[in-house]
């Protein structure tokens, strides 16, 4: 329960949307990425080393947590207008995919979880860097309506946010596609019908969540602008563009290094 709370997995997710919305955007960008990667590592260490002989027992719990997280993140995100709350629910759903990989209970599952979390960390850091860079008349732009016509005003940031949204959606060939590919591959290769069924449910969850990512893209590219944005801080703009480049096509080359490192780390857990 404590670890699920730490990574914002359902049903211990209730704090996440309020904290994301209320905290300063740069702070959210930090704790939405790096601490969750560390917490998922702790999750894996405790389960695979402390409870290595009880895989069949904790696997059942993780499958339920993963399915709840994907469902809550996908469906609750549909009603959100504030982008920080929306990405809070997105993070809940994405943690569900990471937990699904861990539920495989083998080295391939841990490897998939590690690859997924590293690539997700890039997406979420870049997206919140974009939000940090955007303001209008000194007021932060944090709602979907605020993003109307952004491509006409700030095409670079709009392109970066589009890349992060499509990556979080899992559209190929963006990094999010490869992240989910590893997770679903590990789940399907596990000789457990429950995990294989959960992988199929996860695919359905991705389709549902696609609506709010595509809605944001539609507003940025096709709606009329509601005003003039302020000049973005160079630091936030640089981080946003750099992270967007990593989603595609740089990640295809980066996976050559990330995948073997994740495999070596997973092997160190002593799993078959």
For all residues of the chain together, what is the average pLDDT? 87
Query: What does each C-alpha distance from 115 to 49, 60, 236, 256 come to in angstroms?
Result: 20, 23, 25, 11
Question: pLDDT tens digits, residue range 11-61?
Answer: 999 999 999 999 988 888 888 888 888 999 999 989 888 888 888 889 999
* Structure tokens, 136: 């209008």
CA distance 55 to 144: 42
Question: pLDDT tens digits, residue range 133-144?
Answer: 888 887 888 899
Q: Are 131 and 73 in contact (CB under 8 A)?
A: no
Confidence of residue 100 (pLDDT cuts 50, 70, 90): very high
Residue that wins the pLDDT comparison between 67 and 246: 67
User: Residue 10's closest CA among 18, 1, 19?
Assistant: 1
CA distance 76 to 61: 22
Q: Write down the pTM of the prediction.
A: 0.89
pLDDT of 221 reads 92
Taking the mean position of all CA atoms in its chain, how far away is CA 269?
24
Q: Are 108 and 187 in contact (CB under 8 A)?
A: no
pLDDT of 76 reads 93
Q: Are 136 and 150 in contact (CB under 8 A)?
A: no
């Amino acid at each position: 329960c404590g670890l699920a709370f730490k990574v914002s997995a359902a049903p211990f997710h209730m704090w996440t949307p309020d904290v994301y919305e209320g905290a300063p955007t740069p702070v959210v960008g930090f704790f939405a990425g790096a601490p969750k990667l560390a917490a998922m590592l702790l999750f894996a260490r405790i389960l695979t080393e402390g409870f290595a002989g009880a895989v069949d027992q904790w696997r059942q719990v993780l499958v339920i947590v993963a399915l709840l997280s994907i469902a809550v993140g996908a469906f609750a995100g549909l009603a959100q207008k504030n982008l920080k709350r929306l990405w809070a629910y997105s993070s809940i759903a994405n943690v569900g995919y990471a937990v699904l990989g861990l539920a495989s209970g083998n080295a391939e599952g841990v490897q998939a979880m590690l690859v997924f979390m590293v690539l997700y960390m890039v997406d979420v850091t870049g997206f919140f860097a974009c939000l940090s860079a955007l303001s209008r008349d000194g007021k932060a732009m944090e709602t979907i309506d605020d993003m109307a016509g952004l491509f006409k005003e700030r095409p670079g940031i709009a392109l970066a946010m589009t890349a992060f949204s499509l990556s979080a959606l899992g559209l190929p060939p963006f990094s999010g596609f490869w992240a989910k590919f590893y997770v679903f591959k590990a789940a399907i290769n596990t000789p457990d019908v429950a995990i294989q069924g959960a992988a199929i449910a996860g695919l359905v969850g991705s389709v549902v969540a696609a609506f709010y990512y595509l809605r944001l893209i539609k507003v940025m590219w096709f709606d009329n602008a509601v005003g003039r944005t302020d000049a973005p801080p160079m630091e936030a703009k640089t981080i946003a563009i750099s992270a967007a480049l990593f989603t595609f096509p740089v990640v295809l080359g980066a996976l050559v290094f990330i995948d073997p490192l994740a495999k070596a780390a997973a092997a160190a857990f002593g799993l078959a």
